[in-house]
A and B are shown apart, each in its own frame.
Chain A
Amino acid sequence: MELHLILIFMICTAIVAVEIKDLISSVIALSAVGLGLSLAFLILKAPNLAITQLVVEILCVIILIRATIDKDLPLVKDGRWLFNTISTFLFVSAFLFIVYFALRELPVFGQPLMRVSSEYIAVGSRETGASNIVSAITLNFRSYDALAEAVVLFTAIIGVLAVTRKIGKINEK
């Protein structure tokens, strides 16, 4: 019951974030969506993810506000607006219709098939010595996934440093 309420709150705030014309207000509405997601993680018994989502949300909002603080453009609408909107709505409703038939094949909500995870839960604490099973999976059973994620983060750092290099070194000659 609480999950339904939180999801409806997230959908309404997401619609506000998409449709509002002021850029800073839509970034703040995005942070409300992130807060609702962190509460949903807490209700779904995932405290690791709730902590991570909360702090990552703060950093994302700081970056977006810093990037748009003096560029408050209103949006423009021209051209074939009616045709574009109607075709987008048709596409989205066709997508949701097909998704409904796909979701009927999934197991019922609340009874997952845990074929691999039952092994991890049974031997996890004895073999790794950790009480937090999610940390044991991330850093011990599947630690090469963490290595790949470190590689992706490093590539992102190098990418940002390459994009924001000082231009004008050649022009100053």
Chain B
Amino acid sequence: MSLYLLCFVLFCVGLYCVVRKRNIIKIIIGLAIMEYAVNLFFILIGYRMRGRAPILEEGQQILNMVDPLPQAVVLTTIVIGLAVAFILASIGIRIYEKYGTFDITKIRRLRG
């Protein structure tokens, strides 16, 4: 239970960064932290006490395994998060070229 709460505290650190900061690169960093917290929460739910990794070996009967289904889901989520970070970084570079600043409050006032 305390592990779940610590995981959500990490999520809230990322959320605070997205809401309060003005630099676009800081907002990208906050989104990455939120994504790490969500992936960790998925895997925490599927853990079995004294379980084993979900890989079979020859000639062995394995009785207790951790849950393999959340791991299969998070595997694709990690790579998709990387692709989203790529697009955000390229949009950030384009905004810097056009407006000359990374500050999001000044972008609204200038008219290109």
Do A and B come into direct contact in the complex, CB within 8 Å? yes
A interface residue numbers (CB < 8 A to B): 3-4, 7-8, 10-11, 14-15, 17-18, 23, 26-27, 30, 33-34, 37, 40-41, 44-49, 52-53, 56, 59-60, 63-64, 67-68, 71, 73, 75-76, 84-85, 88, 92, 95-96, 99-100, 103-104, 106, 108-112, 114, 116-117, 120-121, 125, 131-134, 137-138, 142, 145-146, 149, 152-153, 156-157, 159-160, 163-164
Question: Helix, strand, loop or mixed for chain A's interface?
Answer: helix
Closest 5 CB pairs of A and B: A156-B83, A110-B49, A137-B72, A133-B54, A149-B76
Question: Helix, strand, loop or mixed for chain B's interface?
Answer: helix
- Within 1-38 of B, Cβ neighbours of A (below 8 Å) are at 1-10, 12-17, 19-23, 25-26, 28-30, 32-33, 36
Q: Contact: A44 with B47, CB < 8 Å? A: yes
Q: Contact: B54 with A109, CB < 8 Å? A: no
Q: Contact: A109 with B44, CB < 8 Å? A: yes
Total contacting residues, chain B, CB less than 8 A: 76
Minimum CB–CB distance from B19 to chain A (whole Å) comes to 6
Minimum CB–CB distance from B29 to chain A (whole Å) comes to 5
Give bound CA distance, A90 to B32, whole Å.
23
Minimum CB–CB distance from B110 to chain A (whole Å) comes to 16
Give bound CA distance, A56 to B32, whole Å.
12
**Partner of B4 from A10, A109, A112 at Cβ < 8 Å:** A109
Q: Contact: A100 with B25, CB < 8 Å? A: no
Residues of chain A within 8 A (CB-CB) of B65 are: 121, 133
